[in-house]
Chains A and B, each alone.
Chain A
Amino acid sequence: MKKKVLLILLLLPLLSGCWDELYFKDLQIVTLVGIGGEKGDVTVHYSFPSVSGGNGVEYLTAKASGSSFSDARNNMNLKTGKVLDISQLQVLLLSDKSAEANIFDYLDSLYRTPRNRLSSHVALVKGELDAYMGNGKNENSGKTQDTPEFLTQLMDTIKEYSLSTDYNVQDMGSIMFAQGQDLALPLLKMSEESGQPELDGTALFNDFTYTGKSLDITESKMLNILQHNTGKFLRDTYIFEVQGREVPVTYEFIRSRKNWDIGETSITIRETIHVEIDEYSVTPVIGKGEFAELEKKLSAAIENDMQKTVESMQEAKSDAIGIGRRVRAFHHNLWEKGDWHDTFSELDIQVKVKVKVERTGILD
């Protein structure tokens, strides 16, 4: 009996509810955050879904300024009915101007707070952040655009189709602090045609800061192959001259094997890439020695693009491939030559590509 009474007494405090419970009805879940401004004067933009009568989900926006990310969030609470909660964040946008300073200064709070999600997508944006937050009106319908939802889907597509790098908040932190690899993030711009964001390329970083230089879409795909970090699909098209006429040839990446030959002053990157032919209107692919010729042309074209990609990165002093990781681990003399960004930019890096057409689709 005594034990039962003791047990009941012990369980009583639990009935009063948990101190740490949070009700969704008390919070405003933010799915898109944009960080702009500069160190000491940060502007944080929030976009959050709200159910409006008859119109379904509408995205509302709000912004606040402060000396830091946390300070801006605290200031935001001064003017919102519900507390904004970023624990379900899906996309984090950084303004390209803000990223020209150390971006970790804006992000510390994101990593430090245990409730925050680390698997959110991250991208850099060109121009004013307001345009990306969903508070613009569509000229045709007059309704607020669902930019946050569109952005989430766009980022998923970028990841799935290897259109740019795919780093979440955690990956971004790890790479920023890594010795021998630099960050590269998808760079978005507002399309004048559709009024929606679209991918512009891949922004190159040097340690914690954006270099102001970026890779175009083809180079971004090459970067994914060089990093051996491709998404589910990677496709690209080249125009080759076949039988006296220009023919578009589209390949789909299957897999690749790398072999880096690292010397004292030069590096040779050898990539053997296995592909499937996705489009080749001069069928059959196999016949009259065209198969070998096609592999040769693809090898030369991809090699050329990869070489350009490496040169763009060298120019930006941004080792987004992570060659420096290998150099730091196994070629200490080269690593010790000086700052890796300088060494990387001065190295003679040659890319050699060998393409093997493994499949040709259901047509020959």
Chain B
Amino acid sequence: MKPVMAPVQMFLLLFLVQTGTFFINFPSLMIKAAGRDSWWLFFILGLLHFPHLWLFERFYRDFKWTKFISLLYGIYWFFAMVSITSYTVYTLNVYAFPKTPTVVVILLITLVLLSASTSKTSTSVNLGVLMLPLIGVFLIFLMMSINNLEWTNLFPVGHMTSKDLFRGFFAAQLPFGGMELYLLFRYLTAGKIGNAKLMIYSGIWLVFFMFMLILSLAFFSLKEFTMISEPIIYLLKSQEVTFAERLDLIFIYIWLAWSIISLCGIAFAIMRLMNIHRVKKPNYVAAFLCIPYIPLVWYTATKTGTELNGRILTYGHMVFAFILPLIVILFNRYKGRKEPAK
């Protein structure tokens, strides 16, 4: 496989895929599951992000992208794209476009995705740069709520039952989603990636999600999380600024761009799998995949559909980021098979 990106491009793409879309509802899911204990529980689990990536870096050459494995991951990523798009469409319908026909929103998103994924590799790789200033703006406006935070909301801790702990562990998996892409992206990345780079990336990822979680927990009271499913957007909605009536709407559009770039990252991975296995006319295959994609998104762009997709994605993450890599790597090491060094 020919390297097509530098480590910094790879980490940016991975960051956008891991953070895009679900960061707005992750705090609610986590807090509903583990209550006030959610912040420390997620912090401890988040510390495992670095060793997980370190293991991927250490053994990625033992993870051979056979046709069967590629097909499995291709299906999983296709499903992840359906889930992310359906959640994006649902949220847009609720906040921004309640009267716009759902199919129009889906079509427009799909066309953007198709266009980006059939473009040159550099388009998908560099698209994330657009988000960098917008992420900064997003974080600054979230910080406007700092005077309304109630720090006692973070305490007391240690009142979780074992059931809450399990539910919290399950909910905490969502932000980890997409890290299996490292196994593929690493092949496409030139140069050496040391522990320091991995640690910096994991640190940024952890700080980002801890910020979202603590901000939400300190802003809303615990009972409100049973009603508010997107606390980050709701928090922005409650901020009063002089230049816009609805701050949430501006950030919904930023979040939409974030989600689309995140989807482009996953679509890029699927296109690369086709490239690895020399699939003929991959652009036509991508266009053909839109045929099941659109109705699947349409069908699941509902409250219950998105919730079900979220649960399946969490299980999927456990299989495709933990179990399957472990089995494949152990099997290949046992058999002595590995991808040739670049």
Tell me the A residues contacting B by CB distance below 8 Å.
Answer: 10, 13, 18-20, 87-88, 111, 114-115, 117-119, 168, 170-171, 173-175, 177-180, 325-326, 328-330, 332
Q: Are A174 and B224 in contact (CB under 8 A)?
A: yes
Partner of B245 from the list A117, A180, A326 (CB cut-off 8 Å) is: A117
Question: Are A20 and B98 in contact, with the CB atoms below 8 A?
Answer: yes
Cβ of A291 to closest chain B Cβ, rounded Å = 34
A171 neighbours in B (Cβ, 8 Å): 148
Partner of B155, one of A19, A170, A178, A330: A330
Interface residues of B in 239-285 (CB under 8 A from A): 239-240, 245-246, 248
Q: List chain B residues, Cβ under 8 A from A329.
A: 152-156
- Given A19-B97, A119-B238, A170-B238, also A10-B111 (CB < 8 A): yes
Are B237's CB and A118's CB within 8 A? yes
Give chain A nearest CB distance to B176 CB in angstroms.
29
Cβ of B99 within 8 Å of any chain A Cβ, yes or no, is yes
Contact B238 A177 (CB under 8 A): no
Q: How many residues of B contact A (CB 8 A)?
A: 31
> For the complex, what is the distance from the CA of A19 to the CA of B98, rounded to whole Å?
9
Residue B104, interface by CB 8 Å: yes
Which residues of B lie under 8 Å from residue A332 when comparing CB positions?
A: 156
- Interface: B210 (CB within 8 A): no
B100–A20 touching, CB < 8 Å: yes
Q: Which of B100, B219, B224 contacts A177 (CB 8 A)?
A: B224
The reply on B195 being an interface residue by CB < 8 A is: no
Q: Is the CB of B240 within 8 A of A119?
A: yes
Known pairs A19-B104, A111-B227 / 15 extra A-B pairs, C-beta < 8 Å: A10-B111, A18-B100, A19-B99, A20-B96, A117-B245, A119-B239, A170-B238, A171-B148, A174-B220, A177-B223, A178-B150, A178-B223, A179-B221, A328-B155, A329-B152
Q: Is the CB of B136 closer than 8 A to any CB of chain A?
A: no
- Verify B95–A114 contact, CB threshold 8 A: yes
The 7 closest A-B pairs by CB, nearest first: A329-B155, A170-B238, A178-B221, A329-B152, A119-B240, A177-B223, A19-B100
B323 → chain A, closest Cβ, in Å?
39
Q: Does B340 contact A (CB under 8 A)?
A: no
Contacts A/B (CB < 8 Å), 6 sampled:
A19-B104, A111-B227, A174-B221, A178-B223, A329-B156, A332-B156
A20-B100, A174-B221 given; A180·B152 CB < 8 A: yes
B60 to A: closest C-beta gap in Å: 38
Q: In this complex, what residue of B is CB-closest to A171?
A: B148
Closest to A3 in B: B115
CB of B222 within 8 Å of the partner chain: yes
Min CB–CB distance A140 → chain B (angstroms) = 36
| Neighbouring A residues of B238 by C-beta, 8 Å | 118-119, 168, 170
CA distance A174 to B231 in the complex (A): 12
- Residue B94, interface by CB 8 Å: yes
Residues of A within 8 A of B150 (CB): 178, 325
